[in-house]
Amino acid sequence: MESQPTEPISLAILSRNEIQIRHTLEPHFNNIEIAAHTKDLQQYVSSELNERIGSRQLRIRDLNLKDEILTRLVKGAHGM
């Protein structure tokens, strides 16, 4: 049985920027850093909060709490 020529495959491995993972993969893979911009994260989280408040999945009595939730989620995302 003759072997058929094979096509190379492309593979993407996505993870947080962990040093151990990067060092393990570095000899075999190219590293491409991708980070969301804070403005994009704020817009997404704000939209999700508004939708959940509107659908009553999230009930907030004090709108200052909404701002606090937004700030903490965006800050905790660390650009992910």
Q: How far apart are CA 77 and CA 70, in angstroms?
A: 11
Give yes or no for residue 79 having a pLDDT over 70: no
The reported pLDDT for the residue numbered 39 is 87
Give yes or no for residue 80 having a pLDDT over 70: no
Q: What share of the chain is helix, strand, coil (3-state, %, to 5)?
A: 50, 0, 50
The reported pLDDT for the residue numbered 25 is 86
Domain boundaries, given as residue ranges, for the chain? 19-77
Kindly report, residue by residue over 11-67, the tens digit of the pLDDT.
888 877 788 988 888 888 888 877 678 888 899 999 999 999 999 999 999 989 999
